[in-house]
Structure 1
Amino acid sequence: MAVADEKWHKKLKDFLKRYYQDEVLELANNYPDKRSLVVNYDNLEIYDRAIASDLIEDPETVILALEMALKDTDLPLAKGFDNVHVRVVNIPNRIPIRELRSKHLSKFIAVEGMIRRATEVRPRITKAAFKCMRCDTITYVEQPGTKLDEPYSGCENENCGKRGPFKLMAEQSEFIDSQKGQIQESPESLKGGSNPESIEINFTDDMTGLVSPGDRVIINGILRSVQRPLREGKSTYYDLVLEANSIERLDKEFDELDITAEEEDQIIKLSKDPHIYDRIVSSIAPTIYGNDHVKKALMYQLFSGVVKTFPDGSRVRGDIHIILVGDPGVAKSQLLRYIIRLSPRGVFASGKSASASGLTAAAVRDELGDGRWTIEGGALVMADMGIAAVDEMDKMRDEDKSALHEAMEQQTISIAKAGIIATLKSRCSLLGAANPVYGRFNRFESLADQIDMPPALLSRFDLIFVLLDIPESRMDSKIAGHILQTHYAGELIQQKNNISASHITQEMIDAQLITINPDIAPDLLRKYIAYARRNIYPVMDEDARSHLIDFYTSLRKQGEGKNTPVPVTARQLEALVRLAEASARVRLSNRVTMDDAIRTTDITMECLKNVGIDPSTGQLDADIIASGISKSQRDKIGIIKDIIRTISERTPGGKASRKEVFAEAEKSNISQEEMEVTLNKMRQKGEILEPDVDHLKLIH
């Protein structure tokens, strides 16, 4: 197709007039601030299939022709388009990054993935002005490549004609904004065991500065090849580079899932079902038997509370953080993986394999540009507006756990590395799983003693569930029946799929799948959640507010006595509000009623009973989670310190005999077992020394 061909030119002008007249006028009004017209490929194909097919095969020519037709459009305003672009979207020629081959070179293609990194936007010279230092003549040289080309034929002045020296005149040269990026295959599209592949992208002019690490996009553009540099000579190998023409953002969060009118009717009908709570709970990980209270909490986490932004710019999170702590083999990891599948933007990370920079963000040396440092987003940044699941949280290094503090409460990640000071958003819910330090949970010790996690981090979780594996014959037989039925159904499916002569029918499989199939299909449930998060912003009724206040104050009252512990903190009250809002969203209600408040206090009380009770007194104590030491333990530490101090003062050398200390402690009703536990805590905190086996000494 020739650009100069009048027939094509007229056709393209007619196409723009017929389909994009309003957009062209809007572009003219906003030019030069806006310099691009977005054209849908489907419209071009409907108008003329030949042009559409030429666009895929010979994109440079067709896009140039479209831009020429746009510049030649009759405008009512006395305004010309000198520097306009046509951006084509909705390209059918979508190719996975790992399947790009030499046959795709110079073709118009679309690649889908996640932006891994992007450089700063910098000007690139496109037409360099060189001044001859002998005769002052200016010579212009086009700069298509990455290396600056000087006037090889010498000075343009016939009387001079010398080959230099030349001086680059930057103020008379032409520049264009330029940015390099890298797009990587989305994690969910990877086959097991394969590394994600990536491709470099070049953005120019008004395409620059539009993407950030973590964005999921489709990039439409022309595939180019760039020769690899070698120290000696030129390489025969080329690297692939995508010259971006347009960017399409993918479903980035719950709020952007497409819901048809038919699905909306289905969602509204579902919400009116009086058993909607039970139906959603039974649709979460149906292959796992029981654990309904945990699944209920996960349902609230998926729906989430309401994010509040105030006029002074402060923000209160609506995301609900949950941690599951328990014995091995209670299906914690499976619950995590199922929730990630339900969340449209879910990221899964696991204990030792997740470092602080892998979870938050890393400063990496930029391979795309000139070796500067750039920021690469980690798991919590990638999960922005979704759910981040971190398994084996107890196996993480302490410095990695501390990286989560800011991400959980402020929902931002601040970075000060390699001279870069930045704040990234991580507006995601965190779902964690951890095992007890000694393998199994001891019901008679506090939670903080048994999880290798800082109390400051534990206190940021809205709900903490302790999952115990307690043998109980009736329950065990039900779980065994459920697991074996699940496996039997799986065996039937595999045999039917892999053995052609198998006698197994679909009816036999369906009969076994009745208890395993989710009540609400995962796709519909995801859209139900998206609809609720997008359209439902509940306000709390007066009686619901009163119920939450009464529940909170009645718990706090238990801590009013002189020697009683603080049962709950204000953080628990905020968690109650978030859970009540999520409960209202489940049934698509814009009102938080008394029923929601009661559901919330029930699930919170269940957590507090498991987690926040001091084993030695049986009282609720918030300090167990907040500081790792209950009030009764703090009191014992005080008593023991006094005993050691008193004995040390009357003993030469300032040492207290262990036997004497134990004997005095027994008079204060502290048993030998409690004494050993308390001394161990004091030793860890560096409060006592043991000069020898029989003596103790306080460190002042």
Structure 2
Amino acid sequence: MPADPVAKWEEFLRSRYWDDILKLADSYPDERSLKIQFSDLEKFDPDFAEELMENPDETIEAARTAILELDLPMDVYLDRAHVRIVELPRNFKTRELRSDHIGKLLAIDGLVRTATEVRPKIVSAAFQCQRCGFTFFKEQTGNKFEDQNLKCMNQACDRGGPFKLLLAQSKFVDAQKIRVQESPEDLRGGQQPQTLDVELEDDLAGRIFPGDRVIVNGVLKSYQRTNPQQGKSTYFDLFHKGVSVEMKDQEFEEIDISAEDEEAIMEMSRDPEIYEKIKDSIAPSIYGYDDVKEALGLQLVSGFEKHLPDGARIRGDIHILLVGDPGIAKSQLLRYMVKLSPRGIYTSGKSSTSAGLTATAVKDELGDGRWTIEAGALVLADKGIAAIDEMDKMNNEDKSALHEAMEQQTISVAKAGVMATLKSRCSLLAAANPKLGRFDKYEPIAPQINLTPALMSRFDLIFVLTDDPDTKRDSAIAEHILKSNYAGELSTQKPWNPEISQEDIDNALTVIEPAIDPEMLRKYVAYARKNVFPTLTEEAKEFFLNYYVGLRTQGQDSNKPVPVTARQLEALIRLGEASARLRLSREVTGVDAQRVVKILEACLRKVGVDPETGFLDADIIASGTTKSTRDRTKSVMDIIKEVSRENQGPAPREDVLNRAEELGIERSKAEEIIDRMRRDGDVFEPRPGMLKLP
């Protein structure tokens, strides 16, 4: 350590951070942190920067003393100001920490798993001697309250107590504990994510929430394990004393956009090809799927939530379901979208429970052992995108946990005496396979999707992706895959193969080069979500109204199904707002309306059409059965009733089938209806070949 570290800090702060100190003094005490870039300190004096890393406690204390000794032009005493060191040269994972690191200044990278409430922590306790009445202060540095073996500071008294703690004169600071878990993407297969507890104080407390991706700069400390049976252990546990926190992934609305970025964003928005460019920037390594990628682009910006005067809330986030044959890159699309979204969470259906997706009650190990709520994937993805792969493999009870999260965008928990409502304002992007692994082209698509109607009806768009052989398309896909792999091979071999130039790699990578750089696309989306709240023009209103009412008119005939419900109209409005937002427009025009109607129509035609009548039928998604099937089921039930009355007992199955054929119902269809009714418990067989209604 230099002979006078305080003088060294004063010299550094005067030369490099004088303007920042004046700004801090101007906003003190609302702002109490002076952020110092480690690289600036390293350029100023590498040895002093090294000393800061090796002995952070003494060096940072010297910095605080230096701030107090600076001669400021304004009458402010910065006694509660803090020096926050940011952007350390290396970020550590929790599993890389060793005993050599104890007492050093380190940066820990990870995901905030849980955070306690902010509570006051005593740092300087005021004690009053009950014999002579003298008041003195005792600094509280550790986690254990020090009130043992005290002596009165009054020399005339010099007794060992008794002492009374004076709370009014003691000094407190806000404190919070957070638990940081390793980022899921940094783990190798089979590894459990490790966690580290972090203590934050004063103006750092209360700013971090579960789900935030952070870099915590601080001093690594240790404490001895204790066991009630065996006493003190030779093993020690680690914790991190936070000095500063850097947010890695903010919500879209929190991404910093500079003036140059804003200029580039406005330039992009004026480009007539903006929709095409955004499509080409989403998973460029996957060939085709233009309609899906366009919808995913709309999902990134989404509509915006609206609060009505009567207290009702209309969600703005767009939910999309991809159902398709295996091997058509559904999972790749999901993973790419999670990377694009600042708060993206990826989870797979088979390994996810309702507690893991929503929230669960756990014993609070960080605090005082009370029951607390631990957030699940949908809460951690608040204001981002939650991707659920293999959704069809989830248990039905776990799927039902998504209903509230998708429509109301809240998660209500009532467990272990804890009643809470958590926010999950995220867009849901889900992928599922058909029931039998691959779609049967001769059967209607809706019954092949292994999801409950109540869940399916909450998705704004349902894309059905089938893997049909097509020579021209297959050639294009094969060529794209081969080029993508070749580019990957070159970039992997470059470090040890001198014959491969950067130019060769760049030429090969053009096939998977996104039209807009991912970081720029995030800023573009962030700007749109933060600043653009479009309204429907009369033209767009009329177009949506005519489309919706025109479809509903088809269902006015009692023999025809209800084609669409109000949910589809709300989906159209959300998609229209997203379409306008993508080009930073304040108005949803007729062109936007036409674009989104085309996307929704394509989805409805794949999933929501009754194959027998060719009409759109909302009941396929809403209830799982078409109107024509429902009508036939009612006819078969009437026949069973009639035959039972005539026979004065159970109805013979053959008689029912014959009577159904006379009414124009195909025999195979009638048998299928009877079998389904038996499965559902609407009819039973008291003996083989005889049918009876319950």
TM-score, with normalisation over the residues of structure 2?
0.88
Classify the secondary structure of the residue corresponding to 1:595: helix
| 8 A contact 1:3–1:9 mirrored in 2 | no
| 8 A contact 1:388–1:430 mirrored in 2 | yes
Q: How many Å separate the matches in 2 of 1:46 and 1:163?
A: 49
Question: Match of 1:119?
Answer: 116
Correspondence for 2:563 among 563, 567, 576:
567
Correspondence for 1:596 among 592, 596, 605:
592
**In the TM superposition, what are the counterparts of 1:94-173 in structure 2 within 5 Å?**
94-98=90-94, 99-126=96-123, 143-152=140-149
Alpha-carbon distance change, 514 to 656 in structure 1, aligned in 2, over 3 angstroms: same
Q: How many Å separate the matches in 2 of 1:657 and 1:295?
A: 55
| 8 A contact 1:108–1:221 mirrored in 2 | yes
Letter matched to residue 216 of structure 1? R
Question: Match of 1:662?
Answer: 657
| 8 A contact 1:621–1:630 mirrored in 2 | yes
Residue 312 of structure 1: how far off its partner (Å): 5.2
Question: Match of 1:675?
Answer: 670
Q: How many Å separate the matches in 1 of 2:206 and 2:606?
A: 50
Classify the secondary structure of the residue corresponding to 1:544: helix
1:216 aligns with 2:216: no
Alpha-carbon distance change, 109 to 314 in structure 1, aligned in 2, over 3 angstroms: farther
**In the TM superposition, what are the counterparts of 1:472-491 in structure 2 within 5 Å?**
472-491=470-489
- Name whichever of 391-400 and 637-646 sits farther off: 637-646
Question: Match of 1:525?
Answer: 521
Residue 599 of structure 1: how far off its partner (Å): 1.0
Question: Match of 1:294?
Answer: 292
Correspondence for 2:425 among 424, 427, 438:
427
Q: How many Å separate the matches in 2 of 1:144 and 1:175?
A: 12
Question: Match of 1:402?
Answer: 400
Count of equivalent residues: 690
1:59 aligns with 2:56: yes
Residue 73 of structure 1: how far off its partner (Å): 6.8
Q: How many Å separate the matches in 2 of 1:547 and 1:270?
A: 28
| 8 A contact 2:534–2:585 mirrored in 1 | yes
Residue 398 of structure 1: how far off its partner (Å): 0.9
| 8 A contact 2:177–2:199 mirrored in 1 | yes
| 8 A contact 1:447–1:625 mirrored in 2 | no
Q: Deviation per CA, 1:472-502: give whole Å up to 9, x if none.
A: 34433433343344445445555x447738x
Classify the secondary structure of the residue corresponding to 1:578: helix
Question: Match of 2:583?
Answer: 587
| 8 A contact 1:135–1:160 mirrored in 2 | yes
Alpha-carbon distance change, 144 to 443 in structure 1, aligned in 2, over 3 angstroms: same
Classify the secondary structure of the residue corresponding to 1:181: strand
1:551 aligns with 2:547: yes
Alpha-carbon distance change, 89 to 553 in structure 1, aligned in 2, over 3 angstroms: farther
Q: How many Å separate the matches in 1 of 2:104 and 2:508?
A: 50
Question: Match of 1:26?
Answer: 27
| 8 A contact 1:40–1:88 mirrored in 2 | yes
Q: How many Å separate the matches in 2 of 1:334 and 1:55?
A: 44
- Name whichever of 306-315 and 599-608 sits farther off: 306-315
Residue 167 of structure 1: how far off its partner (Å): 8.1
Letter matched to residue 26 of structure 1? S
Q: How many Å separate the matches in 2 of 1:499 and 1:3?
A: 48
| 8 A contact 1:3–1:64 mirrored in 2 | no
Classify the secondary structure of the residue corresponding to 2:686: strand
Q: How many Å separate the matches in 1 of 2:441 and 2:178?
A: 52
Q: How many Å separate the matches in 2 of 1:7 and 1:139?
A: 31
1:698 aligns with 2:693: yes
Q: Deviation per CA, 1:576-608: give whole Å up to 9, x if none.
A: 112122222333333322221111111111111
Classify the secondary structure of the residue corresponding to 1:281: helix
Residue 455 of structure 1: how far off its partner (Å): 0.7
Question: Match of 2:627?
Answer: 631
Letter matched to residue 672 of structure 2? V
Alpha-carbon distance change, 46 to 507 in structure 1, aligned in 2, over 3 angstroms: closer
Alpha-carbon distance change, 155 to 90 in structure 1, aligned in 2, over 3 angstroms: closer
Percent sequence identity over aligned pairs:
50
Letter matched to residue 253 of structure 1? E
1:540 aligns with 2:536: yes
Alpha-carbon distance change, 13 to 277 in structure 1, aligned in 2, over 3 angstroms: closer
Question: Match of 1:642?
Answer: 638
Alpha-carbon distance change, 261 to 128 in structure 1, aligned in 2, over 3 angstroms: closer
Q: How many Å separate the matches in 2 of 1:539 and 1:587?
A: 14
Alpha-carbon distance change, 239 to 678 in structure 1, aligned in 2, over 3 angstroms: same
- Name whichever of 477-486 and 239-248 sits farther off: 477-486
Alpha-carbon distance change, 6 to 650 in structure 1, aligned in 2, over 3 angstroms: closer
Q: How many Å separate the matches in 2 of 1:76 and 1:282?
A: 55
Question: Match of 1:363?
Answer: 361
| 8 A contact 2:64–2:83 mirrored in 1 | no
Question: Match of 2:233?
Answer: 235
Q: How many Å separate the matches in 2 of 1:75 and 1:499?
A: 56
Q: How many Å separate the matches in 2 of 1:126 and 1:411?
A: 41
Classify the secondary structure of the residue corresponding to 1:195: coil
Classify the secondary structure of the residue corresponding to 2:685: strand
1:179 aligns with 2:176: yes
Question: Match of 1:341?
Answer: 339
Letter matched to residue 587 of structure 2? R
Residue 219 of structure 1: how far off its partner (Å): 2.4
Q: How many Å separate the matches in 1 of 2:222 and 2:675?
A: 65
Q: Deviation per CA, 1:208-257: give whole Å up to 9, x if none.
A: 33322112223232222212224435333322211123333333122333
Residue 19 of structure 1: how far off its partner (Å): 3.8
Classify the secondary structure of the residue corresponding to 2:91: coil
Q: How many Å separate the matches in 1 of 2:203 and 2:125?
A: 21
| 8 A contact 2:92–2:106 mirrored in 1 | no
Q: Deviation per CA, 1:266-300: give whole Å up to 9, x if none.
A: 44443333333233323322333322222221122
Q: How many Å separate the matches in 2 of 1:698 and 1:199?
A: 62
Residue 323 of structure 1: how far off its partner (Å): 0.5
Alpha-carbon distance change, 647 to 226 in structure 1, aligned in 2, over 3 angstroms: same
Alpha-carbon distance change, 677 to 38 in structure 1, aligned in 2, over 3 angstroms: farther
| 8 A contact 2:6–2:63 mirrored in 1 | no
Q: Deviation per CA, 1:602-630: give whole Å up to 9, x if none.
A: 11111111111112221111111011111
Classify the secondary structure of the residue corresponding to 1:20: helix
Alpha-carbon distance change, 45 to 605 in structure 1, aligned in 2, over 3 angstroms: same
- Name whichever of 446-455 and 134-143 sits farther off: 134-143
- Name whichever of 417-426 and 555-564 sits farther off: 417-426
Q: Deviation per CA, 1:10-32: give whole Å up to 9, x if none.
A: 758968865423422432xxx5x
| 8 A contact 1:19–1:43 mirrored in 2 | no
Q: How many Å separate the matches in 1 of 2:55 and 2:209?
A: 30
Q: How many Å separate the matches in 1 of 2:298 and 2:270?
A: 18
Q: Deviation per CA, 1:350-375: give whole Å up to 9, x if none.
A: 11111111111222222223332222
Question: Match of 2:195?
Answer: 198
> Where does the alignment leave 5 or more consecutive residues of structure 1 unmatched?
none
Alpha-carbon distance change, 166 to 694 in structure 1, aligned in 2, over 3 angstroms: farther
> Where does the alignment leave 5 or more consecutive residues of structure 2 unmatched?
none
| 8 A contact 1:225–1:241 mirrored in 2 | yes
| 8 A contact 1:25–1:75 mirrored in 2 | no
Question: Match of 2:36?
Answer: 40
Question: Match of 1:274?
Answer: 272
Q: How many Å separate the matches in 1 of 2:258 and 2:188?
A: 31
Residue 45 of structure 1: how far off its partner (Å): 3.4
Q: How many Å separate the matches in 2 of 1:512 and 1:4?
A: 57
Residue 549 of structure 1: how far off its partner (Å): 1.0
| 8 A contact 1:584–1:592 mirrored in 2 | yes
Q: Deviation per CA, 1:160-180: give whole Å up to 9, x if none.
A: 999899887777866554332
| 8 A contact 1:227–1:236 mirrored in 2 | yes
Question: Match of 2:602?
Answer: 606
Q: Deviation per CA, 1:417-442: give whole Å up to 9, x if none.
A: 22222222222111111111122223
